[in-house]
A and B are shown apart, each in its own frame.
Chain A
Amino acid sequence: MKTCTVCGKEKPEGDYRLHSDKKTVMRYCNDCHLAKRRAQHSTKREERNAQFRARYAANVNGVKDKHAAARKAKYAKQGRAALIAWAAENPEKAAEANRKKMKRGRERLSDYYVRRLLCHPERSEVKQVPEILIECKRLQLMIERECREKR
């Protein structure tokens, strides 16, 4: 039996966590340890999450690449049908993903975004837009944006 230095209760050694050396136990019991960690987590939650997001974005340890490869493999195995089924099951998530995709496209003037501006798939019969037309439209948009910034 051992007395916890935080709550002062006497508890068996099994209720105490081991130190990193895996031989000696900590001075405070597992319940007090968890309470302390929870309190720490609630105060530093945003900071830690920001750190994790930054690490993910910087592709530390290649986790981002691993996720991308997994998504690609899943898509290759299941095809577009699985994606459409998922979108039908999760309309809100699908709408949010689409919003993000369009926002990214708008910022980068991606082929997808410019093609959609020229011939919207739901409003136009054109399935294939000449690449040269997309390039001209992109340049036109770039000039317009630059003009707006300079004015």
Chain B
Amino acid sequence: MKNAEELRAELSQTFAQLKAGEIKPSEAAELANLAGKMIGSAKVQVEYYALRKEQPRIEWLESPNAKVTGDSPAFMAKRPVD
């Protein structure tokens, strides 16, 4: 899992397998726990740059279809589209 898109694909696959009963809940819970750590880490990075009012690229979150959501334009809205 090199970026958020891969994590999303992995999570959605795990969810489908869990629904179908192909994997145990304990295994899925482990992956969800790990995903939580990765998301938390990315969140801390986003918060850090927001506090510093910087607009760097976060490669882990980068994807061709990357969008940002929120109420008002902030540091990430001005980021150039690759």
Q: Which residue numbers of A lie inside 8 Å of B, CB to CB? A: 111, 115, 118-119, 121, 124-137, 139-140, 142-144, 146-147, 150-151
CA distance A151 to B32 in the complex (A): 15
The contact of B61 among A111, A115, A130, A140, by CB within 8 Å, is A130
Number of A-B residue pairs with CB-CB distance less than 8 Å in the complex they form: 109
**Neighbouring B residues of A121 by C-beta, 8 Å:** 71
> Would you call B76 and A146 a contact (CB within 8 A)?
no
Most chain B beta-carbon contacts within 10 A, residue among A111, A128, A151: A128
- 20 other A-B residue contacts (CB within 8 Å) besides A125-B51, A136-B8: A111-B69, A121-B71, A126-B47, A127-B50, A127-B74, A128-B74, A130-B46, A130-B66, A132-B5, A132-B66, A133-B39, A134-B69, A136-B38, A139-B35, A140-B35, A140-B39, A143-B15, A146-B18, A150-B18, A150-B25
